[in-house]
Homo-oligomer: A and B are copies of this chain.
Amino acid sequence: MSTAVIKYNGGMGRWEPDARARLEQAALELYGEGGFEKTTVADIANRAGLTERTFFRHFADKREVLFGGAGMLKELLVNSVADAPHSAAPIDAIGAAVESVGALLQERRESARRRQAIIDANAELQERELIKLASLASALAEALRGRGVSDSAASLASEAGVAVFKIAFERWINETNQANLPQIVRESLAELKVVTAGK
């Protein structure tokens, strides 16, 4: 690809290598300042210094800015489960997968925190988040069944994994110090094991 093409591709829209990230950043800022409902796609494009047309090349609507990463999370979870050693127990394959998501989010703590505050302030977004988590649990269960785990054990281990993630994430988001999400995931899974053992 020539430098000319990188800079300008003929009027259909400049090639903006960081357009998606700039739109995400602008949207998080605006949702946090004025609220999710009041922010328009035009506001977001404007703040990012891009056009609405560019926005819609990256996102179906303003809600999808907050949920566009779900596909990547799902892929990461499913691949982690598939890559776990054959000898790993289902719950430990799930634990490794949830930890890998924790490691990814750890790098994005500030935007994760801002995103969560926006979701907490809006009932419709909370519903969408619950759907996302349910869909991740289904994907995890499917990945476990691909390892030969029975239907019910796959579902139970996956639901337990998502529960661990939810609780670890909430702890991580609310802690003020330099909390480490993968570490909190490990601690929460260990605590779940103690709790379900009836202690």
Interchain CB contact under 8 A, B130 and A160: no
Chief secondary structure at chain A's binding surface:
helix
Q: Of B89, B130, B163, B198, which is within 8 A of A89 by CB?
A: B198
Q: Of B92, B159, B191, which is within 8 A of A153 by CB?
A: B191
- For chain A, the count of residues having a C-beta within 8 Å of the partner chain is 31
For A193, the chain B residues whose CB sits under 8 A away are 196-198
A198-B92 CB under 8 A given contacts A160-B163, A160-B192: yes
Interchain CB contact under 8 A, A160 and B196: yes
Interchain CB contact under 8 A, A156 and B91: no
Interchain CB contact under 8 A, A195 and B130: no
Q: Report A91-141 residues with CB < 8 Å from chain B CB.
A: 91-92, 126-127, 130-131, 134
Interchain CB contact under 8 A, B160 and A199: no
Q: Which 4 A-B pairs have the closest CB atoms?
A: A159-B163, A89-B198, A130-B130, A196-B196
Interface residues of A (CB under 8 A from B): 89-92, 126-127, 130-131, 134, 152-153, 155-157, 159-160, 163-164, 166-167, 171, 188, 191-199
